[in-house]
Each structure stands twice: as structure tokens, then as C-alpha cells.
């Protein structure tokens, strides 16, 4: 007996699959792929903040160029599809433009040390 169909509703999260039945595509169009990537990136962002134990007040309290904020910002930019604007908003790091500049300088300094 086949398993019952999954109940579908707006905003539901399901397991991420690399392919469907008979190697069919899971995400059928670019909009679906972008939505899937955005959902995974948001989950990654929430996980990063939870791992650090940062609540909203902690993110606001820390200076924008604090190294403790720059490391997760660089990681989110490198490993997710979140835009600079989304990262800046989530980490309370100012504008998209200022975050881009800060990340550029932080990476140059960080790469020299390693």
C-alpha cells in the first residue's frame, strides 16, 4: 500500500531531495529553485544566530563592524543565496552598501592573517 500524500499548504517545509521518483526533477522551474535556496538560507541564518546564542537585543548592541558579526556575515554571504541587504538586516549591520564595504575590508585583513 503506498504511503499517503503529504498535506500541502503555503509555507510548508519538506525534506530537501536531490531528485524525485525515477530521477525526475524536484524543483521544476527557476522560481521554485530560488524559493528553495532562499528557504535554506533563512534556516541557515537562524541556525547561525541560535548557535551563537544571539537574541535581537544582542545583535543590536554589537557594533556593525564587530568581528563577531563579520565572521557570520562572511559565512552567510559565501554559503547561502542571501543578499547583502538581507544579511545586513538580519545581523543589524547597517545598509547593504556599508556591509559590502566592511566585508571587502574584513576579507582582505582576514586573508593576510591566514
Q: Tell me the average pLDDT of the chain.
A: 78
| Mean pLDDT confidence for 1-7 | 72
Range 10-15 contact pairs with CB under 8 angstroms and sequence separation of 24 or more: 13/39
% of the chain at pLDDT higher than 70: 80
pLDDT given at position 114: 54
Per-residue model confidence (pLDDT) at position 36: 75
84-91 vs 67-79: helix axis angle to the nearest 10? 150
| pLDDT-derived band at 64, boundaries 50, 70, 90 | confident
Whether 21 has a pLDDT exceeding 60, the answer reads yes
Contact (CB, 8 A) for 26 and 19: yes
Identify which has the larger pLDDT, 111 or 49. Answer: 49
Amino acid at each position: 500500500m503506498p504511503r499517503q500524500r503529504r498535506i500541502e499548504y503555503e509555507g510548508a517545509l519538506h525534506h530537501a531531495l536531490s531528485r524525485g521518483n525515477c530521477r525526475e526533477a524536484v524543483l521544476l522551474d527557476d522560481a521554485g529553485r530560488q524559493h528553495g535556496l532562499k528557504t535554506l538560507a533563512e534556516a541557515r541564518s537562524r541556525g547561525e544566530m541560535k548557535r551563537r546564542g544571539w537574541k535581537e537585543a544582542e545583535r543590536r548592541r554589537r557594533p556593525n563592524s564587530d568581528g563577531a558579526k563579520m565572521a557570520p556575515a562572511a559565512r552567510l554571504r559565501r554559503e547561502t543565496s542571501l543578499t547583502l541587504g538581507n544579511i545586513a538586516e538580519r545581523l543589524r549591520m547597517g545598509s547593504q552598501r556599508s556591509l559590502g564595504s566592511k566585508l571587502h575590508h574584513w576579507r582582505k585583513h582576514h586573508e593576510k592573517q591566514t
